[in-house]
Structure 1
C-alpha cells in the first residue's frame, strides 16, 4: 500500500526541502539525537549530528544533480561543507528574526497542508495516518518532527514575504526585457590552412634549434617490465572429476530443484502515454487485430513488425511491472495499461508452458558443470596457498607457473595506462608501486570472486629525455603545425586589413573566391546562447556594443584556424502581455531573494556566532575549509 505513496512523497519532499531557502535547518528534526556541538547562533546550538544529516542530504542532492557519485576532489572544490554550515547559520537567524517579529504558523493551515498532501493518501485518495507515518519515517523524520519542520518553514516564509517587491515600472521592464532577449546576427569569414600555400621545407638546423630549446618536453614515459601469474577457478575445472553417479545423487536428493520454470509467450504494444494505451485497449475490445495495432502504434522497434510478439520468457526475463502483469493474465486476455521504465504496455498472453519436472538425463550435464565449478573453487584456494608458499620460498612467478601448470604472462615497456594487459585496471596500479625483483601481494580482481593475480617487477625503465633522432618526427610535426598556424594568422590578418578598407566581409570573400567560407549565424543571445562554440563571451559583449556593419578589430581563434567577424544586425524582441507578466514575476523573485540575502548578511554581522572548527572538520573532513 505504501509503495506509490513513498515515491510520491519523495518527489514532494524534495520540492519542499530543496527548491528554496526554506531547506535551511530542516534536518534539525530528524530522528537522531545530537550530542557534540558544531555551531552556536545567538545561544541556539546546532549539533554535529544535525550538521552531518544536513550535509548528507545536500550531498545526495548534488549527486542527483550531477548524475552520480562525486569525487572528494570535486566536493572539496564545491566547498559543500562550508555551504552547509552557512545555510544552517542563516536558517537559525531567519527563524529567530521571524519569531521576534511575531510571525506564527496557523495550526489549521499546517494540518490542512499535511492532510491534503497526495503523498500521504491511501489507494482511495484519502489521508491515511499509517501512510503518513511510514512516509516521513522513510526519510528519517518522526511525525512530530516533520510537523515541526513544516511549522518553522511557514514562519520563515512569512519573513521572506516581507521582501516581496511588486514591480510596476512597465516601461523599464520592457527595455530590460528587450535588452536581455535581443537577438544578434553575425557574419564570419573562416580562414584555415586550405587558404595558404605550401609549407616551406624544414631544415636540419631548424630541427636542432627546436630540439635544443624544447628538449625537456621530449621524454620517454616511465615503463615497467613485469610478469603476471593468474589463478582462476574457471581455468581449473578440467582438474576436477565429477562422476555421473555423484550427479545422480544430487538430483535424487532434490529433484524439485531441477523443474523447469513456468514460461509464457506474450505480445505487447508499447506507447508513451497511458491515454494512448487506453485508446488501444478500447480498439481491441471492439475487435481490432492486436498484431495490426502493434505494427501501427508500438514504439518497440524490435517487436512491432512481428505483431508485438516477445516469444517465450520466464518471470525474471522482464522488468517487474511487466512480469507481474503477464504472469497474472489468462491466455488471450488483455492487460490494463502497464507502466514500466520504457513507457506503457498493452499485454496479451498467447501461450503458457507450465512448470514441469525434468528428468536426470535432461539436467545431467548442467549438474556436472555446477559440481565441477563448485569443486574447482576448492582447488582454486588450494592453488593460492601453493603459489604463496612458493613465492615466500623465493621462486620466480614464471617458474611457479611451470611447476603448477598455470598461465603466466610477460610484459615489456608497459606504461601506466595500457589496455593490453590482462586485468589492467587492477594490476597496473600495483605494478607501478613495486621495486625491481619484488613480487606483489595477491591482487583481487574487481567483480571476479575467484580470480587472483600476482605480479613480479622485472625491470623499471625510468623516464628519460629522448634523443634528437627519437624525437625528430614529433619535432617536425610541431614545427609544421606552428608554421601552418602562423601562415593562417598572417592570411587572416591581411583579410582583416582589407575588410577595414572595403567595409564588408562579403566583398572580401568575393575578391578572394572565399564565398563558401562565409557564414551567417542568427539568434545569438547576450549570454552566448546560439553562438558558435569558438565565439567567446568577450567577443559577444563587444559585438552587442557595436553598430550594424561594424567588425571585431581582432581575429578570433577557431578549432581550424581564424575567423573574421562582423555584426549584421541586432533585433529587439517586444514582449507580449504574458511574457511581460512572467518576466515581471521573475525579476520580482530575483530582487526578493537578493534583498533577503542582504538582510540575512546584516543579521549575521550583528549575531553572536560560534563555529566549532575542530568538530566540523572531524565530521566533514576535507569537504569543509576553516573560515
Structure 2
C-alpha cells in the first residue's frame, strides 16, 4: 500500500491541490484562521503582545486560586466580564513592572536569591536533620509547578528583581502625624444627628388591594416569582471511606501487621547521656583548635581513670553552661535530637561507657552513656482497634487506586446509566433533588463541588442525559452524576404565588405611604423647624454607623457644614422614609500614642498603594500600553 502511495505521489499532490485551492475560494482564508482565534491580541505592553489564550489561561489560574480559598463563591462572579478584565489588567501591570525592571537594570544577586530560598518555608521544610536540602524532594516541588529547579530559581530571581521596581517607591513614602490626622479627621468625621423614621409596617393596615392590582403587580414583577433552574440527580461516589467499610480483615493479617510494625508501635529507643564540651568553632585557627583537642584528651584520660568523677569534671570544665551545672547531664533523647556525630557516638555506647573524643560543629565532646530506655511494645489486643483502622485504610487506598480508572472509564463508556458501574464495583446509586448550579452558602457534601455542578449543568448532562465524567471532589473521592429530571428556570403560576404577590404588593404600597407621610412632615418642619419632632441626638461617622441604614449616614455626611443645622429627607426604599437633622460636627475622640502610631502606619500603607498606582499609570504612558479588549461597565452603571 505504502509503495503505491510513493509511486503515485505526484498524482496525490495534484488531487490535494484541486481540493485545497477551491476551499480557499469558497470559504476564504478567514475560515482557516478560526483555528488561531485564541491567538487574538487583547493588549500590548511596549510592543509585546498579550494573546487571548494567555489571558484565558491566566484567568483560569486566578479562578482556581480563588476557588481553593473560597470554595462556596458563586462561579458566575469569577467568570464575569469585570473579573476577567481585572485579570487582564493584572497581567498588564506585571508586564509593565518586568519592562521597568529591565530598563532600570535591576538584578538579584546569587547571595540574595540563596538567602530568600533558605528562608522560604516551603523549601526550608525540605531540609533533613543534618540541615542539607533533599534535592529529590526539591525537584518534586519544582515539578509540581511544571518546572525544573533551574526554572524555579530563575522565576524567583525574576520576581525578586521585579519587586524592586515598586519597593523603593513604597519605602520612600512617609506620612507625618499631622498629615495622618488631617486625612483621618476628614474621612472619619463625626456628626451629631437627630432622626425620625416612618416604617412601612406602620402603614400596612391602611393598604387595600383588589384582584386586578395583584394581577398587574404579578405581570410587572414576574422575575420575582421565577424559580431557579434545578435538577434531580442520581450519583455514585467512589471513596476510601466506602471501601474501608467493605474490607474484611483475617486475624492472621492483623497479627502479621502487628509483628511487622512492632518497633514503630512501641516508639523509639531513648538514651540518657552526660557530656563534657570543649568549645572549638569550625573557623577556629588550627593552632587554637589543636589546643582545645589537647585539653579534651587530657580530660578524657582523667575520667577514664576515674569514671565516677565524670560529673565533677563536667561541672568544672565543660563549656556547655546549660548542662555543666547538672554534671553534664542531657536527659533522655531519641535519634534526630542531637547533631549526627554526637548521636552516632551515643547510640554506639553501652551503658556506663565513656566515648572517645567526638568532634562536632560545636567543638570536642566526651560522652558518658548513663541509661538506656527501650521502647515498651504494646500488646496485640490493646492495639487491635488501631491496627484494624490502619490496615483497612491502607487496603482501601490500594483498592481506590485500582478502581479509580475502572470507575472513570465505565461512567464514560456506559454513559446512559450508572447502574452497570454500580453493580460492577458494588456501589450504591444515591439520589438528590432540587440541585442548583450554585452551591448553597456553607453547604457541605460531594454534590456542592463547583466542578461537579458545572458538569451536571452541561449540555451533555442536561440535554443528552449522559453521565458526567468522574470528578475528583476531594482527595481519594470520585463522583459521577446523572440528571433524572431537569426543571428550567420559569415563572411560577399566579395562583401558586398569589399569597406572596399580595404580601409584596402590600409592602410596596405601605412603603409609598410611609414616604408620602415623611415628605409631608419634612415640608412642614422646614416651614416651622420648631415643630420638628425628632429623636435623641447621636453621633455617626463612616466607622460608627450606630446600626443606621447606610443611606442615612451618607446623607448626614453630605450635609454642608456651613448650613447646619440642616434638615433633609432620606428615601429608604422598602425600609420606608427618614427625616434627618444634622446639628453639628463632633470632634473625634482623643487616641493614645499606640493608636496614633497604628493609624499613621496604616495611612502610610494606603498612601504607598496610591503612589504605586500613580507610578503604574505613568509606566503605561511610557511603555505605550494598548488595550484592545473592551473594558466592561461597572455593575449598576
Structure 2: runs of 5+ lacking an equivalent: 1-43, 121-152, 271-333, 335-372, 633-637
Establish whether residue 77 from structure 1 lines up as the match of residue 86 from structure 2.
yes
Q: Retained in 2: the 8 A contact 1:228–1:408?
A: yes
Query: What secondary structure sits across from 2:390 in the alignment?
Result: helix
- Distance of 1:364 and 1:521 partners within structure 2: 68
In the TM superposition, 1:37-56 aligns within 5 A as none
- Distance of 1:546 and 1:376 partners within structure 2: 76
Establish whether residue 406 from structure 1 lines up as the match of residue 413 from structure 2.
no
- Distance of 2:383 and 2:606 partners within structure 1: 70
Query: What secondary structure sits across from 1:446 in the alignment?
Result: strand
Question: Which residue of 2 is the match for residue 430 of structure 1?
Answer: 455
Query: What secondary structure sits across from 1:464 in the alignment?
Result: coil
Query: What secondary structure sits across from 2:565 in the alignment?
Result: coil
In the TM superposition, 1:278-317 aligns within 5 A as none
- Distance of 1:144 and 1:482 partners within structure 2: 62
Q: Retained in 2: the 8 A contact 1:534–1:559?
A: no
Q: Retained in 2: the 8 A contact 1:439–1:454?
A: no
CA drift of 1:220 comes to 3.0
Among 468, 473, 482, the alignment partner of 2:494 is 468
Query: What secondary structure sits across from 1:363 in the alignment?
Result: helix
Among 547, 555, 560, the alignment partner of 2:570 is 555
Among 559, 562, 566, the alignment partner of 2:581 is 566
Establish whether residue 416 from structure 1 lines up as the match of residue 429 from structure 2.
no
- Distance of 2:181 and 2:117 partners within structure 1: 46
Q: Retained in 1: the 8 A contact 2:170–2:609?
A: no
In the TM superposition, 1:452-463 aligns within 5 A as 452-463=478-489
- Relative distance call for 1:199 and 1:74 in structure 2 (3 A) is same
Query: What secondary structure sits across from 2:559 in the alignment?
Result: helix
User: For 1:436-468, what per-residue CA distance to the aligned partner results, in whole angstroms no more than 9, with x for missing partners?
Assistant: 56332442343231x332222223223333221
Query: What secondary structure sits across from 1:198 in the alignment?
Result: helix
Structure 1: runs of 5+ lacking an equivalent: 1-37, 97-113, 115-128, 264-314, 316-352, 510-514
Question: Which residue of 2 is the match for residue 205 of structure 1?
Answer: 212
Establish whether residue 443 from structure 1 lines up as the match of residue 470 from structure 2.
yes
Establish whether residue 356 from structure 1 lines up as the match of residue 376 from structure 2.
yes
- Distance of 2:465 and 2:627 partners within structure 1: 44
- Distance of 1:498 and 1:474 partners within structure 2: 36
Query: What secondary structure sits across from 1:424 in the alignment?
Result: helix
Question: Which residue of 2 is the match for residue 110 of structure 1?
Answer: none
CA drift of 1:388 comes to 5.2
Q: Retained in 2: the 8 A contact 1:534–1:557?
A: no
- Relative distance call for 1:438 and 1:530 in structure 2 (3 A) is closer
User: For 1:350-393, what per-residue CA distance to the aligned partner results, in whole angstroms no more than 9, with x for missing partners?
Assistant: xxx99521122322343234333333445554597379558745
Question: Which residue of 2 is the match for residue 371 of structure 1?
Answer: 391
Please, what is the CA RMSD of the aligned residues? 6.1
Q: Retained in 1: the 8 A contact 2:418–2:467?
A: no
Question: Which residue of 1 is the match for residue 130 of structure 2?
Answer: none
Question: Which residue of 2 is the match for residue 490 of structure 1?
Answer: 516
- Distance of 1:393 and 1:590 partners within structure 2: 58
Question: Which residue of 1 is the match for residue 259 of structure 2?
Answer: 252
CA drift of 1:565 comes to 1.0
- Distance of 2:184 and 2:409 partners within structure 1: 74
- Relative distance call for 1:354 and 1:86 in structure 2 (3 A) is same
- Relative distance call for 1:194 and 1:597 in structure 2 (3 A) is closer
Q: Retained in 2: the 8 A contact 1:223–1:413?
A: yes
Question: Which residue of 2 is the match for residue 539 of structure 1?
Answer: 555
- Relative distance call for 1:130 and 1:467 in structure 2 (3 A) is closer
Q: Retained in 1: the 8 A contact 2:566–2:582?
A: yes
- Relative distance call for 1:375 and 1:175 in structure 2 (3 A) is closer
CA drift of 1:423 comes to 1.2
- Distance of 1:557 and 1:179 partners within structure 2: 26
- Relative distance call for 1:382 and 1:68 in structure 2 (3 A) is closer
Question: Which residue of 1 is the match for residue 132 of structure 2?
Answer: none
- Relative distance call for 1:469 and 1:398 in structure 2 (3 A) is farther
CA drift of 1:431 comes to 1.8
CA drift of 1:245 comes to 1.7
CA drift of 1:204 comes to 1.6
- Distance of 2:398 and 2:620 partners within structure 1: 66
Establish whether residue 385 from structure 1 lines up as the match of residue 406 from structure 2.
yes
- Distance of 1:382 and 1:181 partners within structure 2: 62
User: For 1:394-449, what per-residue CA distance to the aligned partner results, in whole angstroms no more than 9, with x for missing partners?
Assistant: 77334664676531123344333466895112343322220456332442343231
CA drift of 1:564 comes to 0.5
Query: What secondary structure sits across from 1:439 in the alignment?
Result: coil
